[in-house]
Structure 1
Amino acid sequence: MADIVALVLPFFGLILIGYISGRLGDHSAQALGWLNFFVIYVSLPALFFKLVSRTPIEQLTRIDFIAACLAATYTIFALVFVIGRYVRGNNIAESTVQALAGAYGNIGYMGPGLALLAFGEKAAVPVALVFCFENAAHFIAAPALMAFAGGDKRPPAQLALDVARKILTHPFIIATLVGFLAAALAFEPPLALQRLIDYLAQAAAPCALFAMGVTLALRPLKRIPAEIGYIVPIKLVLHPILVYVVLSLVGNFDPLWVYTAILLASLPTATNVFVIGQQYGVWQERASATILITTVISVFSVSALLFAITQGVLPPDLFP
């Protein structure tokens, strides 16, 4: 257990330091802009490129792994959407943001740092694959459903072009694609460039986690939404269980890839869910509350998952 505490305490400690700084400091959300820019456009892309470019190309084309992870995640998305729409009686736009809250984990800011700390650099490839393809799917699902709900009045062609632009110009995805190309060509950056990439990559996790903590502090909890009662257990418990079951059913995966995918599925709701809610003027305060509550609870749920993995309680395949 001491090993797990040593692993998660620095990780969640950085989020806590950011949160306390955000509560004590007299700064607006705009003051965080340059740090977020550095994380999103510089340090995390450098990390993705560094790790993917060093991976054998045959490991980067596991369509079965990608399909299994997407199937599990979008089953969760559909489940939360149906509960919100037909059980709770919410409209399509609200149900869409709730579904994202249940299926869209913080795989960008928290995923790389925690997976690499827990499993080493070999976890980089499954992290990059899950991030790229799940983010692309979320970028498609949200505007498509919002357009169907009437919240997006743009013509279909313009909407499709905007979705494609967001996917193709996302810095994480660009960095991963360039990493794929470098791996395929066996490209080795010059020493000076490699050192620069290494420095930037090393800054990714600390800066991302600190920025996440500050962001949570600047969005105080005003009320606890009723939807928390089912979104929290679905996101933090059911999602990783379903990923585990689906990957076991498909089979033939490296245990480290399975554990990495389960860990990513267990992460709390992504801060991007609030951004999407804000963009469309839907479920904003409740999205913010969901992010904060799932993040706090994930300290314990993620620690328990890592304990189960490291102690051999969780076999890598349910159906060997």
Structure 2
Amino acid sequence: MSRARSDAPVVLVAGGARVDAGKTTFSTGLVSALADRAGDAVGVKPRAGNDYWYDHDDYRIASDAGRLYGKDARRLAAASTRPLAGAGGRDRPEAITPEGINPVHRLWRPTPDRTGMLGDTDRTFLCDRVTTEDGVRFVVNGAAESAGLLPEGLTDRLPLGTATRVDDVAAFNDEMAADYLPAFDRLTDRVAETDVPVVVESYADIASPLSNDGPVEPAAVAVVDPGRVRLYAGDRYAKARAVASGSPREGALEEHTGTVTEMIDPLATAALPALSGDERGDPGRVADRYDEAYTAFFNVLS
């Protein structure tokens, strides 16, 4: 059940391409800029994932503590100045953690010449971490485990002994209905009732990680590509996304950003300068370097 909608703006940051477009850098700087204007702000990333091979350092950082999250959620949590609203419209007395702002995180591994259970060519999902009402739980790809694809030490680093095993798409869909979708709904409700600005970051080139029929419509949307950002009115973007959801290519939940943006024109486009690693790691410095883009974004937001 959806709760009362706060008047604080919710803004969406999406990527224009599957490559690393710089969404998280833009999002963390935007959280900092919004916090400067409004007193507080929080960033969320409903869905995320990383790769055991390509993102091995990130995997090790989290799994050293028996946890599973990625650097994007870690950076957004660090940039946020307060947690999301809780069950009764009040803040939960909790730290801002990656698990709190990212309810589903997936661990992949490359599997050349092999199609995974979920239909992904050359990679296979190993396990998911899902944040439920009762805490964190894990879902393991039982088919990958049976095929010997779980990396050595994974079951020692993560608490997978009591995890649910799914051996085929039907079993995975059952888990999706039981735990994943309620997790997304809970996050959406918390975003809707939070009384400070919320930055919602999508993943890959997915137009939005939130469902079309939820209580949250973005006030403004930033679509980030390498070197530029395109800015859209939230209501027009939401309408275009609703039309795109009827496309047989896209399906109901994962419309691609390009399918949405080809229907509407941006209200503004701004250049994004290349940043050093030190700059990308400091939301305040990102806010300074992207000041022109954020000023244009605030004009759209107003």
Which has the higher relative contact order, 1 or 2, with Cα contacts under 8 A spaced 6 or more apart? 1
Is TM > 0.5 for Structure 1 vs Structure 2?
A: no
TM-score by length of 1: 0.28
TM-score by length of 2: 0.29
Greater share of residues in helix? 1
